[in-house]
A and B are shown apart, each in its own frame.
Chain A
Amino acid sequence: MTALDDTPAGPAEAGQVAAPDEAVGARGLLRALLRNRLAAAALVVLAIFVVVAVLGERLAPYGRNEVSSADKLRAPSLEHPFGTDQLGRDVLSRVLIGAEPSLRVGLVAVGIALVAGVVLGLVAGYYRGLVDDVVMRCMDVLFAFPAILLAIAVMAIRGRGATNAMIAIGVVYTPIFARVTRASVLTVREQVFVRAARSIGAGDLRIMTRHVLPNVAAPIIVQTSISLAFAILAEAALSFIGLGTQPPEPSWGRMLADGRGFIQDAWWMAVFPGLAIFAVVLSFNVTGDALRDALDPRQRSAIESAAGRG
């Protein structure tokens, strides 16, 4: 800087809310993420699953419901690497095709929860008072139910099927986003820059969207990543009990349920879809942890200095 006057920017900024250091923008964030090897591996796994979900049927060696009564319950072989199920369907093909509904339900459900939760949390935390009380008590009521029970209740009202599963899971995860958002908004709204924005005539909507929201983005991004893992798990659970994706459409949860009855004779029917769920959920969790570290400058510098010493 060509400063003529001026002290260097002091350490005062180190303790600030989400002071973006090099993580300004997505590129810096990605760089920080890839420095963490576990996170890099998790991102690769997720990328593979996304490709599989997009290509779906085109990758599968057999059709989604191609039955062959001659090939029932075959063990993994070159012909059927993941074996076949009780109707002679290729498990590998169904795992590949099942990626799409599983990921889609998870993504859309978290999308619903993200939008609803962030808007509610932002409004509640920004306005406080009665709005805050009403919104957050409603969230507390939703939060008080066990997640899967609430999802089942929503599906009991709306009926079974993938679309309703998305709505149900979205409702279940809305309170978490509302809470995370509100907690961060409470600290940001007291910052001087919010008052400064108001003193220049900015209105509530502008302050909320332009000043508060970007400053609470970090915890919300982390929560999104972690919620994706749980939402995919929830979709599997709902499909497992027969409420989510409906047969004959393949879905990992559905395949687990089908495989359950044959676990003694045909372990591959349940193990491979189970492994797929495991890999995706673990990857989202690892990514979530890494994002949290990358978005928290204080923690990041601690990690870097520890790495430097090791």
Chain B
Amino acid sequence: MAAEPVLAVDDLRVTIATRRGPARVVNGVSWAVAPGETLAVVGESGSGKSVSVLSLLGLVPRPPATVTGRATFQGQDLVALPEEALRKVRGPGIAMVFQDPMTSLNPVLTVGRQLTEGMEVHLGLDRRAATERAAELLDLVGIPSPRERLASYPHHLSGGMRQRVMIAVALSCEPAVLIADEATTALDVTIQAQIVELIAELQRELGMAVVWITHDLGVVAGIADRVAVMYAGRIVEEGAVDDLYADPRHPYTRGLLASLPVLGDRARGGEGRHPADLAVIPGLPPDPVHLPPGCPFHPRCPVRADERCATEEPPLRPVPGARGPAPHRVATFYDLPPEDRR
């Protein structure tokens, strides 16, 4: 990390009380983003990646959840901040784009009214000024004839358009950090690419930090500076995007990468992977109420090269030879040999 981080999460833990007992959903996650930087938090459903960011903004109801750790944002600890103060952070401080643009817009309000909401709350703009700026925002996110669109209802718009509107809503208060929670998951592939590119462009323009939450390593490969791979509420591997993709060191990361389809035709000597060859990680992520002792991945792990895997939790440690301000780190007791990629 070159610059001072704008948001630094330190040892964040989220436990949710359930009928079956406490579910340890996030178990000591630490990361940081600097202005202009893009961090991708990757993991499958239930890995705690969404809850970890939602809890930063107080969007996980407490109780039943309890949140500990620190999240330093502009000199304040978000975890300890009371609701009123947190409300001032949401929007101008940290804004979010959610997964499903079909449900994240209110069906009975016009696009314009939803866009001006944040500005009315935080910037104290009057109706006319807010409307003016709303049109500019729609233009910024690439919606044609923005002025007319302000009067549209969400159901007049297609999925990609709605996601653009959501991005405009999130940007309306010029956030320092934009969190995109599976923001492309519900969209089809060509529109995914457009939305990813749009956010990257806006980031360059506005200089905000972006945190991408996704289960799809492919989506973030081109845009992230750093990647943190989460499993069962822990970061199991992190590093600069190139290091991590070129030389994944955790068996789980390798499994994730092997499960991605790769374009290209093997028959022509390319490196493509046929759908039938896509690897599957056997088993399911552990139940957060009954986390296994030791490394949470060990029941599914094909390697298990150390006997401590089943009893001790492997800490994140730098990979041998890792350098730089954001070294490649992995949570294993052993070093895997370089991967044999056919």
Name A residues whose Cβ lies closer than 8 Å to a Cβ of B.
Answer: 1-10, 12-13, 16-21, 24, 191-193, 195-203, 206, 210-211, 214-215, 217
Residue in B87, B99, B190 whose beta carbon sits within 8 Å of that of A201 in the complex:
B87
Among B87, B95, B103, B109, residue most surrounded by chain A Cβ atoms (within 10 Å): B103
Residue contacts A-B, CB under 8 angstroms, 30 given? A1-B161, A3-B144, A4-B144, A5-B161, A5-B191, A7-B159, A16-B103, A21-B155, A24-B153, A192-B103, A193-B104, A193-B107, A195-B98, A196-B98, A196-B166, A198-B59, A198-B90, A199-B59, A199-B91, A200-B90, A200-B91, A200-B117, A200-B170, A200-B173, A201-B87, A201-B92, A201-B173, A211-B109, A214-B106, A215-B107
Report the nearest A residue to B103, measured CB to CB: A192
CA gap between A167 and B293 in the complex, in Å: 64
- What string of 1s and 0s marks CB contacts (under 8 Å) between B71-108 and chain A? 00000000000000001111110011011101111111
Report the nearest A residue to B160, measured CB to CB: A6
Q: Are B159 and A201 in contact (CB under 8 A)?
A: no
**B113 neighbours in A (Cβ, 8 Å):** 210
B122 at the interface (CB under 8 A from A): yes
Q: Are A192 and B158 in contact (CB under 8 A)?
A: no
Report the nearest A residue to B93, measured CB to CB: A201
Residue in A196, A206, A214 whose beta carbon sits within 8 Å of that of B121 in the complex:
A206
CA gap between A16 and B121 in the complex, in Å: 27
CA gap between A18 and B155 in the complex, in Å: 11
**B102 neighbours in A (Cβ, 8 Å):** 9-10, 12-13, 16
Q: How far is the CB of A91 from chain B (nearest CB, A)?
A: 47
Among B118, B158, B172, residue most surrounded by chain A Cβ atoms (within 10 Å): B158
Residue in B103, B155, B158, B172 whose beta carbon sits within 8 Å of that of A200 in the complex:
B172
Residue in B88, B106, B155, B169 whose beta carbon sits within 8 Å of that of A13 in the complex:
B155
Residue in B98, B155, B187 whose beta carbon sits within 8 Å of that of A192 in the complex:
B98
Q: Are B57 and A199 in contact (CB under 8 A)?
A: yes
- Sorted nearest first, the 3 A-B pairs with minimum C-beta distance are A201-B91, A6-B158, A6-B160
**B159 neighbours in A (Cβ, 8 Å):** 6-7, 9-10
- What string of 1s and 0s marks CB contacts (under 8 Å) between B157-183 and chain A? 111110000100110110000000000
B188 at the interface (CB under 8 A from A): yes
Name B residues whose Cβ lies closer than 8 Å to a Cβ of A.
Answer: 57, 59, 87-92, 95-96, 98-100, 102-109, 113, 117-118, 121-122, 144-145, 153, 155-161, 166, 169-170, 172-173, 187-188, 190-191, 194
**B108 neighbours in A (Cβ, 8 Å):** 18, 20, 24, 214-215, 217
CA gap between A215 and B59 in the complex, in Å: 21
**A18 neighbours in B (Cβ, 8 Å):** 107-108
**A215 neighbours in B (Cβ, 8 Å):** 106-108
CA gap between A7 and B162 in the complex, in Å: 11
CA gap between A192 and B182 in the complex, in Å: 13
Q: Are B144 and A16 in contact (CB under 8 A)?
A: no
Q: Are A200 and B95 in contact (CB under 8 A)?
A: yes
CA gap between A196 and B167 in the complex, in Å: 11
CA gap between A194 and B17 in the complex, in Å: 23
